[in-house]
Amino acid sequence: MRPLPSEAGLGTRAIHAGEAADPSHAYLNPIYQTASFRFDSLAESEATFAGKRAGYFYTRNGNPTIAALEAKLAALEEVGLDEPARALAFGSGMAAVSAVLLALAEAGGQIISQEALYSATYQIEATLLPRYGIGVTFVDPSDPAAVAHALDEAGPRARLVFLETPVNPTLRCIDIAAIAEITHAHGALLVVDNTFATPYGQRPLALGADVSVYSTTKFISGHGAIIGGAVVARASADFCPWLELYRKHLGAVPGPFDAWLTALGLRTLHVRMERHCANALAVARFLEAHPQVAAVHYPGLPGFPDHALAARQMTAFGGMVSFDLKGGGEAARCVLDAVRLCVITPTLGTFDTLITHPATMSHFELSPAERHRMGISDGLIRLSVGLEDAADIIADLGQALDRV
């Protein structure tokens, strides 16, 4: 396939990037559903293993279907970036996060991280990394001075700053450009979990981050059919070979079929996200006016604390909404038991509207004190707003709220 013009937009890239010309003239990229690749001679094998001949030999090390997905992911992150990007696909979002933390921090290193995170990421940082000699300092990155102070305290041990913005599940936003400037001044790297926003809504590399991390299980694949993850960085970054080495030797690769499904879902990312965002704003406005709702968390609402920041660094406000009920945990239980259209599930980012109670689902492993520090009350409900007619989503939430 001929290369895309450098000025091609995100939607064009989502459809065309990574779609290689196959000798069979297949319209869609084929699925290379194979564990290994054969050679016609020992000399051919030797040249391939030595890197003197282009080719594949074992799917854990590389596969054309996975490579096609990576090309598409990199092309999306390159919008607004003045250099090529490199993407690595992983078997899950947490495999991607783990590889980044282990490869970039190393034993003896110090990570500066926000505390309000996806529960599994927080658990890795708080309980697992210290066992491998990696220290973690938790800060509130909404205060850049706190990040600078933590980096000063870490000194030469500082390896990276880890952000998640918008935050799961409170949707609070962190100033990526400001934190990037502070991080780089201390010789460290900035990693941003961009799962909620996707490259459609926010591109961390263009804002100064060094790494974007994704759970491709969510909006990127969009259909709830696969588990996957990805890491995207500038192709020139000297740590990319380390990330690839960790993925290869830890075996954290996706299967070819999952990679193919993810790439297929990516081709409609831009049109799906446009509808997700429009529906989310309509739902947020409805909830904001409802008498049973104490607070609505959505970056697109003018009254949201981080609205001005989100408007500055995001190109769209995303499909996630959360809200606190005046009646607390009992009211939340009542709403979840009463919904008919919304699907109760711990995941997010599919074509239908998903409803979650973070205190007992996505963040259930955390203590009440930890959840309190993260802003997760018993009355908090998280919505992944789907592609249905907005009026139907609102009607379902309305009848459920009327039962409280």
Catalytic residue among 193, 258, 306, 396: 193
What pLDDT is recorded for position 379?
97
Tens digit of each residue's pLDDT, the chain (404 residues): 567 888 899 999 998 898 876 777 788 889 999 999 999 999 999 998 888 888 899 999 999 999 999 999 999 999 999 999 999 999 999 999 999 999 999 899 999 999 999 999 999 999 999 999 999 999 999 999 999 999 999 999 999 999 999 999 999 999 999 999 999 999 999 999 999 999 999 999 999 999 999 999 999 999 999 999 999 999 999 999 999 999 999 999 999 999 999 999 999 999 999 999 999 999 999 999 999 999 999 999 999 999 999 999 999 999 999 999 999 999 999 999 999 999 999 999 999 999 999 999 988 888 899 899 999 999 999 999 999 999 999 999 999 999 99
- Our answer to whether residue 152 is catalytic in this structure is no
Treating both helix axes as pointing N-terminal to C-terminal, what angle do 390-401 and 328-338 enclose, rounded to 10 degrees? 130
Active-site residue 210, yes or no? no
Judge whether 60 counts as a catalytic residue. Answer: yes
Q: What's the pLDDT score for residue 3? A: 73
CATH number of the domain located at residue range(s) 10-266 in this protein: 3.40.640.10
pTM listed for this prediction: 0.95
CATH 3.90.1150.10 domain position(s) in the chain: 269-401
Which one of 22, 56, 60, 248 is the catalytic residue? 60
Domain(s) of CATH 3.40.640.10: residues in the chain: 10-266
118 in active site = yes
pLDDT of residue 23: 72
* Predicted local confidence at residue 288, as pLDDT: 98
CATH number belonging to domain 269-401 = 3.90.1150.10
Selected catalytic residue, list 118, 200, 246, 298: 118
Could you say which of 218, 267, 272, 371 is catalytic? 218
The per-residue pLDDT for 2 is: 61
